[in-house]
Structure formats: C-alpha cells, structure tokens
Amino acid sequence: MSYPLALQKLISFLRKFPGVGKKTAERFAFQIIYWKDLDLTAFAELLKSIKKDLITCSTCKALYDKARCPFCDLDIRDSNLLCVVASPKDIFTLEATGIYNGLYHAIPGLLSPVDHFGPSDLHFNELKERLSRHETKEVILALDSTIEGDATALFLKKELEPAGIRVSRLAMGMPLGSSLDFLDEGTLTRAFSSRLPV
C-alpha cells in the first residue's frame, strides 16, 4: 500500500533538500502533517512570499530586506578588503564570527571540470570591476578546502596578483576537504585570523 497522493507529493518535495533521503523525507512529512493548523498556514504563507520579501544584492549577491545591502554599505564597511566566497550563504556564516568588516563578493561556484563549471562561469569580470572600483588592497579567499576550492583559489591568485593585489586564503583549523558551511564559528574565526598567502 502506498501513501496517499498528497503525502507522496510532500515527501517528494522534501527529498529535494540536500542530504535528505527517502526515510528522512517521510519522517519530516509525518511531522508536518501533525503541526497545528496555525503553524501550517504561517509556513505556507512564508513560502509563498519568501522570494519577493528578499532582495539579492546585484553587487555582492547577499540577500537583504532593507533599503540597501548592509554588506555593501561603504559608510560602515572597510573597502580595502574584499572576501570572496562561493555561495551567498557563506557571507552570513562569516559575518556571524564578527571578525571581518570588509566587503564580500560571492562567485557563482567553484571550478569543477566534472560539472562543466569553468573559468568563464566565475564571472571574473564582475570581481575585477569591483576591485578596481574600491582600489582593494587584499582579497581574502574564503573557499572550501576541497579540490574545487583549491583550483579556484589558484586561478584567482594567478589572475589577481599581477594587478598588485594581495591574495590570502583561510588557513589554520580548516580540515582538508571541508566546506565552509560545516565549520563552527570558533574554527572559522581562527582560520580567518591565520589566513595565508595563496
């Protein structure tokens, strides 16, 4: 006997989350259907409006809901520093450490020949344009400690250093193969303060 159709649909939506397999999706679905009506309605309303309630910054790619992007506000941020991340979410992860007050730039992903993601997909010109606009002194690469992260770091170093920009990368405490997403704030703070030239 299979699940009723509505439940099957819910389960297949939940399976879209990374790392969520069939069993977990089923468990989540059975939680959701027993939520209070009030919570279910609030959740549904939130999902319906979440995209229009958030603005993607055209400059750094962070999400915000204020009049302007707080990460690009030159009145409060140090424009000598620019931190390159591979996902807008990483901006919030780093910001939570409180160790950094420079600008951010999210590239669309990491170089990965397997996924056919090459240098032209990095939109490097957007980054170059920002560096010249702010006369950036140091670019900090906050990229995953993976083969893809290493390849991207090397590429960016090769492109940026001839322009006289110091390029550093998060170092100590970042286990090999680790993604920024899984680091706790303490580790991330240490990695940030002990950043090394690429």
Paired residues of 104 in beta bridges:
83
| Part of the chain binding Zn ion (CB under 5 A), chosen from 13-21, 31-39, 49-57, 167-175 | 49-57
- Per CB under 5 A, does 59 bind Zn ion? yes
CA dihedral (71, 72, 77, 83) in degrees, to 10, reads 70
List helix spans (H) across the chain: 5-14, 22-32, 37-53, 88-95, 124-134, 147-160, 185-193
Q: Which stretch binds Zn ion (CB under 5 A): 47-55, 71-79, 124-132, 153-161?
A: 71-79
Interaction between residue 57 and Zn ion (CB under 5 A): yes
CB of 109 to Zn ion, least distance (A): 18
* Amino acid letter for position 77: R
Which segment (15-23, 68-76, 151-159, 175-183) binds Zn ion by CB under 5 A? 68-76
Task: Please report whether residue 111 would count as binding Zn ion according to CB under 5 A.
Answer: no
C-alpha distance from residue 15 to each of 31, 40, 48 (Å): 15, 19, 19
| Distance from chain centroid for Cα 129 | 21
Q: Which of 11, 29, 60, 188 binds Zn ion (CB under 5 A)?
A: 60
CA distance 150 to 174: 13
Is residue 94 within 8 Å of 87, Cβ to Cβ?
A: no
Q: Which is nearer to Zn ion, 88 or 109 (CB)?
A: 88
Closest approach of Cβ 74 to Zn ion, in Å? 11
State how far the alpha carbon of 140 is from the alpha carbons of 34, 110, 121, in Å.
46, 15, 20
69 touches Zn ion by CB under 5 A:
yes
Q: What string marks each residue from 154 to 193 as x (binds Zn ion by CB under 5 A) or -?
A: ----------------------------------------
Give the count of residues interacting with Zn ion (CB under 5 A). 7
Residue 72 or 127 with smaller CB distance to Zn ion: 72
Inter-residue contact 147 to 183 (CB < 8 Å) = no
10 in contact with Zn ion (CB under 5 A): no
Q: Using CB under 5 A as the criterion, which residues of the chain lie in contact with Zn ion when the complex forms?
A: 57, 59-60, 62, 69, 71-72
